[in-house]
Structure 1
Amino acid sequence: MAKNPPVGDGHRVGAVRQRSQTQTPAGNYVKRDTTTGRFMDVKTSSKEPFKGVRKEQK
């Protein structure tokens, strides 16, 4: 995971590279690796998008 000082303040500087996210029909967000196209992670803690990851065009 990329770190930007000060550590622990809850934000990062810049976008996460080679990642994108899209929303499932259930409303959860899914993170995808743009180089391989494989799904990496589903955010189940809330229906909010991942922080710092660009959204795919619909």
Structure 2
Amino acid sequence: MATNPPSGDGHRNGMVKGRSQTRTSSGNYVKRDTKTGRFMDVKSSSKTPFKGVRKEK
């Protein structure tokens, strides 16, 4: 698989695996573990979604 240069600069190439996200009723995004279904983290700093994490339907 091809990588985006420069390698080793600390950024992620591709999607985060084993995670999904959905919106709460307040409009914030919450990250969920796909294996256990438990909520992990709520993004309260802004109403934008997490980067690289797939969205639930």
TM-score range, shorter chain: 0.7 to 0.9
* Distance across 2 between alignment mates of 1:54 and 1:28: 15
Q: Which runs of 5+ in 1 are unaligned?
A: none
Structure 1 stretches of 4+ moved >6 Å: none
Q: Which residue of 2 aligns with 1:30?
A: 30
The Cα of 1:12 is off from its aligned counterpart by 2.0
The Cα of 1:5 is off from its aligned counterpart by 2.7
Q: Normalising to structure 2: TM-score of the pair?
A: 0.82
Letter in 1 for 2:29: Y
Count of matched residue pairs: 51
Q: Which runs of 5+ in 2 are unaligned?
A: 1-6
Once superposed, what is the RMSD of the aligned Cα atoms? 1.3
